Amino acid sequence: MNTTAEQPVISLDQATPEQLKAALAKVEAKKDQDRETYKELVLETVPKAMFQLCAASEVISAAKTATFKYFEDILDLKNKVYGLKEKQQSHTFSTDKEEIQIGYRINEGWDDTVTAGIQKVENYISSLSKTPETATLVSMLFNMLKKDAKGNLKGSRVLELQKAAADSKNDEFIDGVAIIASAYKPVRSSWFIEASLINDDGTKTPVPLSMSSVGFSANYKFDFFSEKIPADDAVE
């Protein structure tokens, strides 16, 4: 038999100020308790999740290192067979069913002198008469100076500028492009691996990997690509 006395249900219009105050205090106490439970759950869960993530990161790092070591041997043999150490940013290896590409990314960077070069080039572009014959050229040149989402020029466009400057035979234009080219300061950002499974119909299914942000295992250094980051052909 249940001997616990049931609490009478009191409507708001019948409740005394003391009863309303007690009910509100009960609600607030429950809220505080729930918030404390939430904080305790966070403190308990974060270390467990971090352990799993760190373990996964170590596994990815080990896999990345092992993969580069495999192809280090292959690149060594390739160099011996062909008598040339290539300076390209990436290499792609494949079978009928798989494809793996290894390499490094480059962040394009420019020192502060680039603005002087851009100004000189823009001065030249602005000096061109806006006839129908030159309108296309003006549009093309301004497009070469268009910056990316990060506010930087694209190094690959400087080659086009160099060709256009040489054709123009204009000293201001040529000097401006030369300043831009000398301001180019590329920085190697990360080593990457991209892998795909090749389907029977020739289409590729990427293997989900995110290795660019993961370093190699301790004391391993992949050095089969040139130590010097090759300046883009655009800025020779």
Q: Are 182 and 162 in contact (CB under 8 A)?
A: no
pLDDT at 21: 74
pLDDT at 24: 77
Task: Tell me which of 53-62, 82-91, 162-171, 179-188 is least confident.
Answer: 82-91
Does the structure show a pLDDT above 70 at 5? no
Here the tokens at position 230 are: 């090759």
pLDDT at 223: 73
Confidence of residue 65 (pLDDT cuts 50, 70, 90): very high
Does the structure show a pLDDT above 80 at 172? yes
Q: What is the CB-side half-sphere exposure of residue 210 using CA atoms within 13 A?
A: 3
Q: Could you identify the residue written with the tokens 């060709």?
A: 163
- How far is Cα 177 from Cα 161, in angstroms, rounded to an integer? 7
Does the structure show a pLDDT above 50 at 201? yes
- How far is Cα 235 from Cα 215, in angstroms, rounded to an integer? 29
pLDDT tens string 121-156: 888 888 886 777 677 778 888 888 887 777 777 777
Among 139, 180, 138, which Cα is nearest to 159's? 180
- How far is Cα 13 from Cα 25, in angstroms, rounded to an integer? 18
Give kind and range of the element (H or E) at residue 101. Answer: strand 98-107
- How far is Cα 161 from Cα 87, in angstroms, rounded to an integer? 24
**What's the mean pLDDT in 173-194?**
87
